[in-house]
Amino acid sequence: MTLIYDKRLIKEWIDEVVPEPEGDEVFIAILCARKKYSPAISRSEEMLDKVILKGDKSAIYRRLCKFLRVEEGDYIDFNSKKSIPLDAMVVYFDLYPKSTLKAISPWFKTINQWLYDAINNPEFNRATFRKIDTKLFSAIAKSNSRKPVRVVDIDNKDKIYDVLPLVPEPEWITETRGGWHLIYQVTDKNRLKELGKIYHELVSKEFKGVIEIQWHQAQTVIPGTMQGGFKVTGFSAKKEGDRL
């Protein structure tokens, strides 16, 4: 069993949407379980698992597909000790490239503090060092290298037909379990200003509570994968803009 239903679509999405990594950059993806997807779990898990994706887009695709090969029994509900079902799960991909160089300093600061405490405090729990990989991942996740894309989240399936005529054409449109994600390339400053205008004129007024523009992160679901039992799909808006 797996969270993949269409590998071709995953590859197309990566080729069209994921920025080309530069220098020390990597990407991250996280596996989550959400109680609103399945009443079988006792609580939501914001991060069941995590992966750092490095190399070119071909390498990112291959590693991501391995990460998505999840089977029943791989993850256990903390409270009930029962297997977390696949229809409770979703994988989010952050489209902001992360700087590993930028992440080193805050990670070192944490590890050095642990080292100091381990040496000077007899009561320090040395099992803390088992979390060393988690701390590294957290430091990388917080270290945006650049923000070449923006994700506009439409939290209502029907509103897509009202919103699209009022906004600039996105590069990609993803249908999520509960709505839509519009993905924009914003390396052009004028493009970024257009999105700012959307925020002020639509998000804060006519579509308040329906549209959200992600600024601090760019987490999105992956077309070709399952999100809470729903088949996430999508397409290049510039190539197939008449699909809706």
pLDDT in tens, 23-45: 999 999 999 999 999 999 999 99
Q: Which residues pair with 45 in a beta bridge?
A: 33
Distances (CA, A) of 232 to 82, 134, 222: 26, 28, 7
CB atoms within 10 A of CB 9: 19
What pLDDT does 209 receive? 81
Instruction: Return the structure tokens found at 242.
Output: 């008449």
Domain ranges in the chain are 7-100+142-236
Q: Distance between CA atoms of 114 and 127, rounded to whole angstroms?
A: 11
Our CA angle for 30, 84, 179, nearest 5°, is 55
| Residue given tokens 């998505």 in the structure block | 68
Distance CA 100, CA 110 (A): 16
Give the confidence band of 188 by pLDDT, cuts at 50, 70, 90.
confident
Is 103:142 a contact under the CB 8 Å cutoff? Answer: yes
Find the mean pLDDT for residues 220-225: 98
Q: Is the pLDDT of residue 206 over 90?
A: no
In tens, the pLDDT along 56-69 reads 999 999 999 999 99
CA neighbours within 13 Å on the CB side: how many for 103? 22
Beta bridge partners of 213: 152
**Residue 87 tokens, joined:** 């229809």
Which positions ≥6 away from 78 have C-beta within 8 Å? 42, 43, 45
pLDDT tens for residues 137-146? 999 999 999 9
What was the pLDDT predicted at 109? 97
Give residue 7's pLDDT band: very low, low, confident or very high (50, 70, 90).
very high
pLDDT the model gives residue 241? 65
Residue 1 pLDDT more than 70? Answer: no
Q: What is the DSSP letter of 130?
A: G
Q: For residue range 68-117, what is the model confidence (pLDDT) as tens digits? A: 999 989 999 989 999 999 999 999 999 999 999 999 999 999 999 999 99
